[in-house]
Amino acid sequence: MTNPLTAASARAYFDARAHLWEAERQDYFTDAVWDEILRHGQFDREARVVDYGAGSGYLTAALLAAGLHKIVAVDVSPNTLMELQQRHGQGIEIRVATGGEIPLETGSADGIVCNMVLHHLEDPALFFAECARVLRRGGRAVVTYMVSYAATDFAADQNDRWAGFDLDALRQWIAAAGLFPDHIGLIGQRCCAQVSGAGGGAEIFVACAIRP
């Protein structure tokens, strides 16, 4: 299920909430998400990794803690990226996205991580195609979000386009992009379970795709 939102409305929404996201995020999911992404990413410390939809830097912090230092934070919101640099340092490369594209050169990244972002994209299939373009051979894209759930007013308020995803659809998008679906499954955690108006939330999945 999709909502007819625009890239411009998404940018305006996240620009306005840049200073609130870090506190709000803690009500949505636990650091089990952080652990799953690092486990499936298997990133070398010298890897160049893209944090797509970086927000205030939740996964950027995870990558830094794991010893990585070639991190590119990508987000639709310039304000959020400025918050990220203030929090994690000017050494983090930042790029502003304008839609589903990944604003990096072809074959320039070893990894892409994307946490709780896929539902904001107009065309998730395009995102996976972009992963295939940007990743070097053997590179990994690791994505987390929720499985399909009943749409709620909370989801609409969050600027969501998609009410979760069917795992078979994810496999099809990944395969169509020319990526190998290394792992797609649930992590045993629910997102937004305690958030008022979120209908009890939904199960979180992790999907790891490899560029052959």
Interval 114-126: pLDDT, tens? 999 999 899 999 9
Q: Which two tokens stand for residue 18?
A: 């840049």
**212: Cβ contacts below 8 Å, ≥ 6 apart:** 137, 178, 179, 180
- Integer CA distances (angstroms), 109 to 28, 84, 97, in order: 29, 20, 16
- Integer CA distances (angstroms), 164 to 24, 37, 136, 160, 191, in order: 19, 18, 28, 9, 11
Please report, in tens digits, the pLDDT of each residue of the chain (212 residues total).
344 334 444 445 444 544 555 555 566 778 889 999 999 999 999 999 999 999 889 999 999 999 999 999 999 999 999 999 999 999 999 999 987 799 999 999 999 999 999 998 999 999 999 999 999 999 999 999 999 987 666 666 666 788 899 999 999 999 999 999 999 999 999 988 766 667 778 899 999 999 99
Give pLDDT tens digits for 68-113: 999 999 999 999 999 999 999 999 999 999 877 999 999 999 999 9
Q: pTM value? A: 0.86
The packing angle between helices 7-16 and 78-88, to 10°, is: 40
Pairing mode of beta strands 93-96, 109-115: unpaired
